A and B are shown apart, each in its own frame.
Chain A
Amino acid sequence: MFIRLSAAVAALSLVTGAALAQGAKPTDPQIAHIAYTAGVIDIAAAKQALAKTHNKDVKTFAEDMVRDHEAVNKQALDLVKKLKVTPEDNDTSKTLSKNAAAKLAELSKLNGAAFDKAYVDNEVAYHKAVDSALETTLIPDASNAELKSLLQTGLKIFQGHEQHAEHVASMLK
């Protein structure tokens, strides 16, 4: 659990570190893309869980993830449209998507209680990693006030999900 979690945090630090090493702070169109991608990844993970799990708590949690992240991403799309900003793909988004695809493939091989535990543990680690990226990079680097404010709401949502996931994880033990 701890190893998995540190690995996820390290992976994201590497990603944000790499972006900083290039001397370029992410731009607003890039930040919007990263935040949106982070939501899409969690929705895909939740949909996989809904197709595989038989556990009521895991199912309810996954449904919450789909509902909340779809709502956040709808807000994000409305905002970029209003600001006439086109989200721009970037290395951080690409790494996030690549890691997420690998995780989906890994989890697809598991079933039953093993799947439930792996999914929920990864949700805790993933939300922690995204919280940290939001706090240390994405929110401070966002220039547009409305984008910043949406990211701040996103951070609270992610932190809430992290605690919710920890609660579900404790029930699976």
Chain B
Amino acid sequence: MQPRWIYFAMVAGLVSGASISALAATVQITMDKLEIAPAQVSAKVGDTVEWVNKDPFAHTATAKNGDWEVMLPPHKSGTLVLKKAGTFEYYCRFHPNMKAVLTVTP
């Protein structure tokens, strides 16, 4: 009986361990009247960033280093799953005066 308990405990541990790492957060950033808020955001690899475009204008969230770009049509949202750690400066390609920073930790 005892080995079986241990086995169950191990499985349970594995499952809960897995579910903890799968519990990635979603970070929301808004674009409203050409302002990105918050302009500085920190998140972890595996997290999702959701940009909510409240403007009647199309925007983009474009990494300055070219790693990623999310298109944001008027009054729509777009998401990005963070795969790489680093500090990413990003901007809107249509309105380059909209700038922000996303810090991704491992």
Q: Residue-by-residue, is A124-164 near B (CB-CB < 8 Å gives 1, otherwise 0)?
A: 00000000000000000000000000001100110111011
**In contact, A160 and B56 (Cβ under 8 angstroms):** no
Contact: A156 with B95, CB < 8 Å? Answer: yes
A74 adjacent to B34 (CB under 8 Å): no
Residue B71 is within 8 A (CB to CB) of chain A in the complex: no
- B4 in the interface, Cβ–Cβ < 8 Å? no
Interface residues of B in 90-106 (CB under 8 A from A): 92-98
Which of the four size classes fits the interface of chain A? 10 to 19
Q: How large is the interface on B (under 10, 10 to 19, 20 to 34, 35 or more residues)?
A: 10 to 19
With a cutoff of 8 Å between Cβ atoms, the chain A residues found around residue B88 in the complex are: none
Out of B34, B58, B93, B98, which one reaches A67, CB within 8 Å?
B58
Main secondary structure of the interface of B (DSSP, over half): loop
Residues 77-96 of chain B: 1 if any A CB is under 8 Å from the residue's CB, otherwise 0?
Answer: 00000000000000011111
The reply to whether the CB of B38 lies closer than 8 angstroms to some CB of chain A is no
Complex formed: what's the CA distance from A9 to B4 in Å? 83
A68 contacts which chain B residues (CB < 8 A)?
A: 57-58, 94
Taken together as a complex, chains A and B put the C-alpha atoms of A43 and B20 apart, in Å, by: 52
A71 touches B94 (CB 8 A): no
B13 within 8 A of A: no
How far, in Å, is B95 (CB) from chain A's closest CB?
A: 3
Contact A157 B57 (CB under 8 A): yes
Which of A68, A75, A160, A164 has the most chain B CB atoms inside 10 A of its CB?
A160
- Chain B positions within 8 Å of A, measured between CB atoms, are 33-35, 56-58, 74, 92-98
